[in-house]
Amino acid sequence: MASKRDLIRSYLIRFKDIPDLTLAKKIYKENVTVFTNIESIRSGIRTIRGKLPQNSDSNRLPKDNTFFKPKTYNTNPFNLPESYANDFSPYVISQSRTLIISDLHFPYQDNKAITEALNYGLSKNVNCIFINGDLLDFAGISRHEKDWRQRSVGQEFEATRLFLQTLRQSFPLAKIVFKHGNHDERWEKWLFIKAPELFDCTDFQLEVLLKLGELNIETVKDKRPVKIGKLTVLHGHELAGGSGGVNPARSTFLKTMQDTVVGHFHKTTENNEATMDGHVISVRSVGCLCGLNPHYMPINKHNHGFAYCELDIKTGSYMFENLKIIKGKIYK
């Protein structure tokens, strides 16, 4: 039988970025017969992560430093009050071949388009799949006008879990990352407004309900940018202002002024601008993988699409394919 420390380590492997206390609550909830209280688990997590109190005996640290967080110098020499500013440091993808899919909007996904995208990923032997937001739709809990034809939230979760299980089975060795888009964020917003007592309850977090830990799928939240070498990836709702206009890539360029790719707008567009020293800034928006004629806007300029990014790990340079799916065929 595994020791308590080994059990904690198994959770740290799956949830390496979750705060100590949040993870301790989850471990206790799922192993109530093993541990006596949450604080003992939290203490164990802190020890394994190399977080001993000041003036503690360093011999208490485990020999295995796999989960240690790098030590930093005192960043608050003037003892300023705690800041609640958001951490906007990017999440880094260092894999060499990444399939980028976005705007699936389960349960209103387009299965044929998704199949084309995943088959392309298999043909490229991708070692990373990045879900760039709006995996779920959550129409039933949005602030917008409701429609009786909308599927229930339970159906959305069931359909999404089935997709993620299939995705993991199809790409068993690939890193899979899910970044929250504006539709995915509806869940936390709904909890915060309608059921604030449950907002910080681990069991109701989107990651837990989708069983991402069991599938070894990592999460990027709070509008954090993602970096693939020199390329910045955003969902698109992080940018101020509107629907992206005629050319979402152009409007994104005017806001980021660097190589960027976005989803969100359901349109495949591209904008290239040369600087005075000859550097070319390339910005793209990627098509969607959901139905093209939603009831709220059946006539539109949406198109199916996805992207493939090949990274030179040493230099950060990349090769990018912004692919369209038109009548079941992939076009570059």
Considering the domain architecture, whether residues 97 and 234 belong to the same structural domain is answered as yes
Range of the domain at 248: 91-331
DSSP H helical segments within 234-301, as ranges? 248-256
The C-alpha atoms of residue 15 and residue 214 are separated, in whole angstroms, by 10
What's the chain's length in residues?
A: 332
Considering the domain architecture, whether residues 240 and 124 belong to the same structural domain is answered as yes
Residue range 5-54, pLDDT digits in tens: 889 988 888 887 788 888 888 898 888 888 888 888 988 888 888 776 54
The C-alpha atoms of residue 161 and residue 178 are separated, in whole angstroms, by 13
Residue range 177-201, pLDDT digits in tens: 999 999 999 999 998 888 887 777 8
The C-alpha atoms of residue 270 and residue 261 are separated, in whole angstroms, by 9
Considering the domain architecture, whether residues 219 and 123 belong to the same structural domain is answered as yes
User: 277 to each of 271, 273, 274, 283, 318, how far by Cα in Å?
Assistant: 18, 12, 8, 18, 20
Q: What's the pLDDT score for residue 2?
A: 63
pTM of the model: 0.76
Considering the domain architecture, whether residues 20 and 140 belong to the same structural domain is answered as no
Closest CA to 263 of 90, 100, 102, 92: 102
Considering the domain architecture, whether residues 54 and 124 belong to the same structural domain is answered as no
Residue range 72-84, pLDDT digits in tens: 567 778 888 878 8
- Domain count of the chain? 2
E strands along 156-258, which residues?
Answer: 175-179, 217-220, 226-228, 231-234
Considering the domain architecture, whether residues 39 and 143 belong to the same structural domain is answered as no
Q: What's the pLDDT score for residue 54?
A: 46
| Lowest mean per-residue pLDDT among 76-85, 180-189, 231-240, 257-266 | 76-85
Write down the mean pLDDT value for the chain: 89
Sequence-distant (6+) residues with CB within 8 A of 74 are none
Spatial contact of 244 and 331, defined as CB atoms under 8 Å apart: no
Considering the domain architecture, whether residues 56 and 146 belong to the same structural domain is answered as no
The C-alpha atoms of residue 166 and residue 117 are separated, in whole angstroms, by 14
Considering the domain architecture, whether residues 31 and 142 belong to the same structural domain is answered as no
Spatial contact of 39 and 15, defined as CB atoms under 8 Å apart: no
Q: 3-state class of 163 per DSSP?
A: helix
> Residue 71: which pLDDT band, with cuts at 50, 70 and 90?
low
| Lowest mean per-residue pLDDT among 75-89, 159-173, 235-249, 284-298 | 75-89
Query: CA geometry: angle at 319 spanning 318 and 321, to 5°?
Result: 135
Considering the domain architecture, whether residues 56 and 199 belong to the same structural domain is answered as no
CATH number at residue 280: 3.60.21.10
Considering the domain architecture, whether residues 55 and 126 belong to the same structural domain is answered as no
Q: What's the pLDDT score for residue 55?
A: 46
Give the percent of the chain with pLDDT over 90: 60
Residue range 10-20, pLDDT digits in tens: 888 888 778 88
Considering the domain architecture, whether residues 151 and 286 belong to the same structural domain is answered as yes
Kind and range of the H or E element at 310? strand 304-311
Q: Is the pLDDT of residue 298 over 80?
A: yes
Q: What's the pLDDT score for residue 293?
A: 93
Taking the CB of residue 111, how many other CB atoms lie within 10 A of it? 9
Average pLDDT estimate for 85-107: 94
Residue 70 lies in a domain: no
Q: What's the pLDDT score for residue 196?
A: 81
Considering the domain architecture, whether residues 54 and 98 belong to the same structural domain is answered as no
> Residue 243: which pLDDT band, with cuts at 50, 70 and 90?
low
- Which amino acid is located at 261 in the chain? V
